[in-house]
Structure 1
């Protein structure tokens, strides 16, 4: 079984490691590049089944187009899984390999097409997914999107799964006073940081005792902070970008987690927050929110871009400390369902459906 992915992201590597532990799976993973400036994870040694393909990429706005070479032969593979359609390498593999070996595309919900030449290019590249034997959608929202676009293909729901053990250790008693609200991600408009800052400012100006902890790349944060009153800034802490190994420490400092993104195909930080036993509040533009949050139980969803709605949800938790405690327990219960081993089992089931081959994977079970 061969995976082609963009780069060695920690959450995908957790899944690949679990698949590699299955004795009946001969796993190979190829990455199109070793690292990316937008995701500056510390480089770690590759596993024997992981390889970096030679090549380069071209940037066009926020899009990156990869071109790689020295493709190994996949004619002996039972299944090839491709992650990311907006690059030339995946396009070549889809249009050349899909006729020889069953290919699965694994991706998040597609964003709306751009205008002009770029929009036409996106439509052309997306059309190549018709060559896939099946599509593994990352989350329920993505599954619905692909079912509309490709009604004749099997569509499976296989979200991201990551190792949460470090997040679930040494958890504090919650809630504390003051309640600490955590955001983890890039400080950019797409992540809705401005929405969170406005809602938090409303809480502070209304007399609530709360803190806001921001973790992630600075990006647009200085401009966003300029308009906040001193009283609000006094209750805010910016901890900067943190490596994956340091993140559990910051999640332990929090009592609530908020991801107010205008758009997030998935949002692995939601997995991490649930693993940390945090109530999670997401906009309905976050893919993970629709699969991992049960509104009113382990968190809540609010309408995308609605500052007032977010402020009201936050106030409901600040006014009811017991709500934080019960939601925390339900998040920890949910965390047991989203381990990499569970994700690996889902992939094994898909492989069986497409190839007809029984895979006895005792380690996963």
Structure 2
């Protein structure tokens, strides 16, 4: 039985089901060390700009413990938001064979990386950053050197997709240290709720006032600059699609500006933040799900995984980390150049040209996402751990 310590910032709705899956994996004993209690208590999300806690179980079915966070301003929105002086001692007490970090760019984790005896229990890292929007200049050169130096402390890496693989290689991680562990969500939960969600969506559509005969374009997430919801609104207005409505679901810093820009235009609707139990219904209302993000911060876009589980066609920008992996142009959706509103307008027009084709795209989404599951993600993790056993 191999002991694996997992260090991550806080309970996350996408990872908790995977930890439960890992807890049932043969010959693997895991313990998760959380550095903050966000998600299980009522707290304000900085980017959503609202207080909530997730309404699905995040701590059931696996071994975990919280590490006291002494930060005066706890959170993952700044470097000093995670300060956990007892982290090394608590992980050491577990006596792991390996330690898997899911973050590193916080004060507490830098201290752990440099203090931990990685020769006794090697370090494993899983990240999802990409380099799809290259930067140049001395600052970028220095940043590359610093990150490459940090990565030399790790014995193996899990990459979630093609763009992430390129990011690790850019930072001089050798191919033999890289193992494919795709980004995944709890596919089974979404599959199981698909039929019920479709019935709920019909009722919700009526409650929102969206005409029954209208197809729906959905944006679901934070209303923030990197997500570019205003790009989608402008593209929708330019496309002038007959019998198609646009629905924004979520909240955030751009909410007032977004609603102001929509004022006076018909068939644009808004719904508040939806908790996890309502996400299947949220995607079920859509005929197309759009993620028009710009920049390097949309490292993957797990909302696209969720939408595809509900057999939804997807349109994403080429800055979305999952674009190369999950979106097969003209098979299950479209990819457009980030920030190009005209290109997004064209993509919307193409998508709604043929309703039967759009349905086929959705079916293909469901097929593609079946290969991005906790089973596949775990396979990559086990391959990495086996490689470490051979070396240490």
Query: Alignment partner of 2:235: what SS?
Result: helix
Equivalence for 2:106: 87
The equivalent position to 2:213 in structure 1, one of 173, 177, 196, is 177
Q: How many residues align?
A: 352
Q: Does 1:51 align with 2:65?
A: yes
Give the deviation of 1:3 after TM superposition: 0.6
The equivalent position to 1:29 in structure 2, one of 8, 32, 35, is 32
**How many Å separate the matches in 2 of 1:126 and 1:190?**
26
Length-normalised TM-score, structure 1: 0.87
Greater mean alpha carbon deviation, residues 2-11 or residues 158-167: 158-167
Give the deviation of 1:120 after TM superposition: 6.8
**How many Å separate the matches in 1 of 2:74 and 2:233?**
31
Give the deviation of 1:279 after TM superposition: 0.4
**How many Å separate the matches in 2 of 1:59 and 1:118?**
28
What 5-or-longer segments of structure 1 have no aligned partner?
358-365
The equivalent position to 1:235 in structure 2, one of 250, 267, 279, is 267
**How many Å separate the matches in 1 of 2:15 and 2:247?**
26
Give the deviation of 1:177 after TM superposition: 3.4
**How many Å separate the matches in 2 of 1:131 and 1:308?**
45
Equivalence for 2:54: 42
Q: Does 1:324 align with 2:358?
A: yes
Equivalence for 2:347: 313
Equivalence for 1:63: 78
Give the deviation of 1:219 after TM superposition: 2.3
Query: Alignment partner of 2:315: what SS?
Result: strand
Q: Does 1:140 align with 2:159?
A: no
After superposition, the Cα gap between the structure-2 partners of 1:103 and 1:246, relative to the gap in structure 1 and judged at 3 Å, is same
After superposition, the Cα gap between the structure-2 partners of 1:41 and 1:126, relative to the gap in structure 1 and judged at 3 Å, is farther
RMSD: 3.0
What is the correspondence of 1:251-290 to structure 2 with a 5 Å cutoff?
A: 251-263=283-295, 264-290=298-324
Give the deviation of 1:130 after TM superposition: 1.3
Query: Alignment partner of 2:261: what SS?
Result: coil
- Confirm or deny: 8 A CA contact 2:5 2:91 kept in the other structure: no
What is the correspondence of 1:171-210 to structure 2 with a 5 Å cutoff?
A: 172=198, 177-203=213-239, 206-210=240-244
**How many Å separate the matches in 2 of 1:29 and 1:211?**
43
- Confirm or deny: 8 A CA contact 1:218 1:241 kept in the other structure: no
Write the deviation string for residues 278-303 of structure 1: whole angstroms up to 9, x where unpaired.
Answer: 00110011111211111110111110
Write the deviation string for residues 99-128 of structure 1: whole angstroms up to 9, x where unpaired.
Answer: 331101111215778999999789646632
After superposition, the Cα gap between the structure-2 partners of 1:24 and 1:328, relative to the gap in structure 1 and judged at 3 Å, is same
Greater mean alpha carbon deviation, residues 269-278 or residues 56-65: 56-65
Equivalence for 2:121: 101
**How many Å separate the matches in 1 of 2:120 and 2:243?**
62
Query: Alignment partner of 1:99: what SS?
Result: coil
**How many Å separate the matches in 2 of 1:220 and 1:82?**
33
Give the deviation of 1:315 after TM superposition: 0.6
**How many Å separate the matches in 1 of 2:64 and 2:322?**
27
**How many Å separate the matches in 1 of 2:130 and 2:103?**
10
What 5-or-longer segments of structure 2 have no aligned partner?
40-44, 202-211
**How many Å separate the matches in 2 of 1:30 and 1:135?**
19
After superposition, the Cα gap between the structure-2 partners of 1:125 and 1:144, relative to the gap in structure 1 and judged at 3 Å, is closer
Equivalence for 1:361: none
The equivalent position to 2:18 in structure 1, one of 15, 24, 48, is 15
**How many Å separate the matches in 1 of 2:30 and 2:306?**
26
**How many Å separate the matches in 2 of 1:62 and 1:27?**
27
Give the deviation of 1:69 after TM superposition: 2.4
Length-normalised TM-score, structure 2: 0.81
Q: Does 1:248 align with 2:280?
A: yes
Equivalence for 1:156: 179
- Confirm or deny: 8 A CA contact 2:215 2:243 kept in the other structure: yes
Equivalence for 1:337: 371
